[in-house]
Amino acid sequence: MSKCQRCGKETNCTIMSMFNTQILCLDCKEKEEKHPEYKKAQKAELKHVKREDYNYKGIGKPNNL
């Protein structure tokens, strides 16, 4: 079992944030997907992956997440 790096909740299922390199529980990921800048973060990440930049740190976590 691991902990969500955003809320600290114990979880068996995690996914990486689209905004930064935090490992999130599915509840935090769901909240993140509703953020108005989420699509911007997705596009930026895809752009870096296409360039084979797999160490991309993200656009940064908005203060209200």
Q: How many domains does the chain have?
A: 1
Encoded tokens for 59: 């656009």
Let me know if residue 27 belongs to a domain. yes
- For residues 6-21, average pLDDT: 97
Indicate the pLDDT class of residue 65, thresholds 50, 70 and 90: confident
pTM for this prediction: 0.87
> CB count, 10 Å around CB of 17?
19
Q: How many CB atoms lie within 10 A of CB 21?
A: 12
Percent of the chain surpassing pLDDT 90: 91
Residue 16, domain extent: 2-50
30 three-state secondary structure: helix
pLDDT in tens, 29-53: 999 999 999 999 999 999 999 999 9
- Is residue 25 in a domain? yes
